[in-house]
């Protein structure tokens, strides 16, 4: 994540990070508010529009960050390295975060294991359990195909983690560190910006889901608190490993554990 030793001003770095966070949210409303497109006819169409908006925001943020950072070498490998996409120490950058994240969510994973053992007991163990496990693995190809056509799976495991980590980790952390912010400050500032970028969830809870003001505040507040904690953890991993694929794996592990 290092550049050529030059730095940028702290105010410019913070302003850029805030602008990217706002852009990440506001662009989602461009199709209906600015382009005046008709409302999506289905949930799938609605999510595809959001996927396109998130992709545009991510690409724009990556390009804008590259021009602000004092980068003198425009080789593809060097630019990708600044964003945490690199070949060196790849396995350490993936395996270590995965193991650490698995330890963090060990309780959920153990609970799922107990559920599997309980199912094994209900099936009588032995041969019947073996047949049950074999039938389970036989259904995996069909499950993969079904998941590939599920827009919610794409949102939770591909589009959301990839775009969010690239914008709020790969772009913001190099900017903050290059501006002279301390590592601890960068670790906690990025998830705070990320959580503030999701305050639009309050609007959805309060208006669309007809929640009371207090209930909507409590739900969104709890979500944002959890987001800040995991975001700080992800930022710590990114700074320590300098590798963004490991953060994506950790995000996926968290989603699977919560699911």
Over its length of 259 residues, how does the chain's per-residue pLDDT go in tens digits?
Answer: 545 555 789 999 999 999 999 999 889 889 988 888 888 889 899 999 999 999 999 999 999 999 999 887 788 888 888 899 888 888 888 888 888 887 877 777 677 667 766 665 665 554 455 555 555 555 656 656 666 778 888 888 889 889 999 999 999 999 999 999 999 999 999 988 888 777 766 666 666 666 777 777 777 778 788 888 888 998 998 998 888 988 888 877 777 666 5
* H helix intervals, 27-105: 43-68, 76-82, 90-104
Q: Is the pTM of this model over 0.95?
A: no
- Spot the catalytic one: 6, 118, 165, 198: 198
Residue 15 lies in a domain: yes
Q: In angstroms, rounded to a whole number, what is the distance separating the alpha carbons of residues 173 and 165?
A: 11
Please give the residue range of the domain that contains residue 80: 10-127+148-254
Chain-centre distance for alpha carbon 193: 13
Residue 26 lies in a domain: yes
Decide if 165 is catalytic: no
How many domains does the chain fold into?
1
Residue 4 lies in a domain: no
Burial of 75 (0-12, 13-18, 19+ CB in 10 A): exposed
Residues 6+ apart with CB under 8 A from 244: 83, 84, 85, 165, 166, 169, 170, 238
Decide if 198 is catalytic: yes
Residue 259 lies in a domain: no
- Spot the catalytic one: 45, 89, 164, 209: 164
- Give the residue from 254, 258, 259, 204 showing the smallest Cα distance to 231: 254
């Amino acid at each position: 994540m290092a550049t050529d030793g030059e730095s940028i001003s702290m105010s410019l770095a913070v302003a850029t990070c805030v602008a990217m966070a706002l852009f990440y949210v506001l662009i989602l409303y461009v199709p209906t508010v600015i382009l005046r497109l008709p409302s999506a006819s289905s949930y799938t169409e609605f999510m595809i529009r959001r996927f396109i908006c998130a992709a545009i925001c991510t690409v724009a943020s990556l390009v804008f960050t590259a021009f602000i950072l004092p980068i003198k070498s425009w080789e593809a490998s060097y630019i990708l390295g600044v964003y945490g996409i690199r070949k060196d120490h790849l396995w350490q950058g993936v395996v270590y975060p995965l193991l650490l994240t698995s330890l963090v969510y060990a309780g959920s994973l153990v609970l799922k294991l107990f559920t599997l053992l309980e199912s094994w007991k209900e099936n009588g163990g032995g041969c019947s359990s073996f047949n049950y496990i074999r039938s389970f693995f036989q259904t995996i190809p069909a499950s993969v195909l079904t998941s590939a056509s599920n827009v919610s799976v794409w949102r939770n495991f591909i589009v959301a983690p990839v775009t969010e980590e690239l914008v709020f980790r790969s772009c913001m952390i190099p900017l903050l560190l290059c501006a002279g912010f301390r590592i601890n400050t960068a670790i906690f500032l990025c998830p705070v910006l990320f959580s503030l970028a999701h305050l639009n969830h309050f609007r959805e809870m309060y208006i669309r889901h007809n929640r009371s003001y207090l209930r909507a505040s409590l739900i969104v507040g709890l979500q944002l608190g959890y987001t800040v904690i995991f975001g700080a953890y992800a930022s710590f991993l990114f700074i320590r490993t300098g590798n963004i694929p490991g953060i994506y794996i950790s995000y996926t592990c968290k989603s699977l554990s919560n699911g």
